[in-house]
Amino acid sequence: MFPSLFTLPTFTAFGRELGPFTLHTYGVVLAMGFLVGLWVAHWQAKRAGLDAGRIADMAVYVLIAGLVGAKLMLVAVEWRTTYSRMGLRELLWSVVQSGGVFYGGLLGGLLVALYFARRYALPVWATADALAPGVVIGQSIGRLGCFAAGCCWGRPASVPWAVTFTDVYAARNVGTPIDTPLHPSQIYESLATFLIFAVLVWIAPRKRFHGQVLVAYLVLYSTARFALEYFRGDAGRGFIGPLSTSQALAIVLVLLAGVLFVKLRKTQAMAPAAA
């Protein structure tokens, strides 16, 4: 667990006192996930015969919208329990430090992708198929950043692979329980999303209709997230009855994916790929 890579001490420049500045591991890993996701989107677009340069440009805006959407949903979900008691400066700093709620990021990214595709006359569903693997590999890498930061921690566990966080800095910043064996829920999700990435890359050249990769992503990730929520221990996630907010949204997305599957299979059919 390395929540920060290094901290520069306070110094004076241009007659003003600046610092200290801390380089957080989460931000570095998130940037890595951003770049890898961008490269994968470009690769998948080129593989599908789309305008790879335009898709790569689009992916930048989609990923930025995803970050903003994730943080906005975080504030919405945890407003009562956490953010309503904060001043504006404290709220902004806390949101910058936090990762956000992924489903908010997914919604924000999808809206920007739809707008971008329509504006530049890109095939919507084929474009979505090209973007999906890039999104999920970015998730996989990003969860490693969560593990380094100590956020999104798991429930107390007695399994042999339980992890124990000891860094007081992480406990102060994001509330990580220290000196307690926990399920490595961040690693669980990182592995699950990497496997989903491999499945999507396999499906892409074999798909029978445009939108099939997106549908597979929605079903696989929502199912995995629903199950993984039972291993999460951070209580500020928000709940709707017995289900966490993420579990409720996972059910909605699976139902939506089912509707899309039926509709797109009829309207976006394409010739089977050659062996």
Determine which of 37-46, 67-76, 227-236 has the lowest per-residue pLDDT on average: 67-76
Report yes or no on 31 lying in a domain: yes
Q: What is the chain's mean pLDDT, rounded?
A: 84
Range of the domain at 77: 21-197
Residue 6 lies in a domain: no
Total domains, the chain: 1
227 part of a folded domain = no
Measure CA 146 to chain center.
Answer: 11
Q: For residue 133, is it within any domain? A: yes
Percent of the chain with pLDDT over 70: 83
Residue at 15 is within a domain:
no
pTM: 0.84
264 within domain boundaries: no
How far is 21 from 8, CA to CA, in rounded Å? 5
In a domain, 27, yes or no: yes
Exposure string of 160-179, with b = 16+ CB inside 10 Å and e = fewer, is eeebebebebbbebbebbee
pLDDT class of 263 with cuts at 50, 70, 90 = very high
142-161 pLDDT tens trace: 899 889 888 889 999 999 99
Task: Give one word for 51, left, alpha or beta, with left for phi > 0 and alpha for psi -120 to 50.
Answer: beta
Q: What is the pLDDT of residues 28-53, one digit of tens each?
A: 888 898 889 889 999 999 998 988 88
Q: Is position 257 within any domain?
A: no
Taking the CB of residue 16, how many other CB atoms lie within 10 A of it? 7
Instruction: Name the pLDDT band for 170 (thresholds 50, 70, 90).
Output: confident
Amino acid at 181: P
The pLDDT assigned to 275 comes to 34
Task: Render pLDDT for 100-159 as a digit per residue (tens, 0 to 9).
Answer: 677 777 788 888 888 888 888 889 899 999 999 999 998 999 899 889 888 889 999 999
